[in-house]
Amino acid sequence: MRRLIEHSGTPGHVYPLALLCYDIMPPPRQVEKEIGEKRIITFHGAGLSIAPQISFPEIAAACEESEAKDVYSQALYKSVSEQYNVLKSAIHGKQGLEASTA
């Protein structure tokens, strides 16, 4: 995504996103090639969390060029993981808005 943004010619932004909706309609246990496979749909909470923007130039300025990509990837992964933990606390832990962070 970062490379697409850099070469697009217009300003772009990366916002880590976490969507928790697996329990509503999980994938089937095995893949069937026929149309009309059975899907089990349940009632369950769903959550969407968008984290603050993560900028590659800001992260790259704080480290050496050779490690900038790894540090950027780790920052994105950490941000998305944190957002999933907030969603899990809100939905599975039944904390609701109390699980939210600023």
Give 1-31 pLDDT, tens digit per residue. Answer: 878 888 888 888 999 999 999 888 888 777 7
The domains of the chain, with CATH numbers, are: 1-101 (3.40.1130.10)
pLDDT at 36: 72
Q: Please list, in sequence order, all residues whose beta carbon lies within 8 angstroms of the beta carbon of residue 29, skipping any fewer than 6 positions away.
A: none
**Dihedral angle of Cα 96, 88, 49, 98, to the nearest 10 degrees:** 30
Amino acid 51: pLDDT: 92
Are 86 and 55 in contact by the 8 Å Cβ rule? The answer is no
27-86 pLDDT, tens digit each: 877 777 777 777 788 888 889 999 999 988 888 888 888 898 899 999 999 999 999 999
Query: What pLDDT score does 22 carry?
Result: 87
Answer for the pair 14, 2: CB distance below 8 angstroms, yes or no. Answer: yes
DSSP of the chain? -HHHHHHSSS------EEEE-TTTSPPPSS---SSS----------EEEEPPP--HHHHHHTS-HHHHHHHHHHHHHHHHHHHHHHHHHHHTS--GGGG---
pLDDT at 102: 61
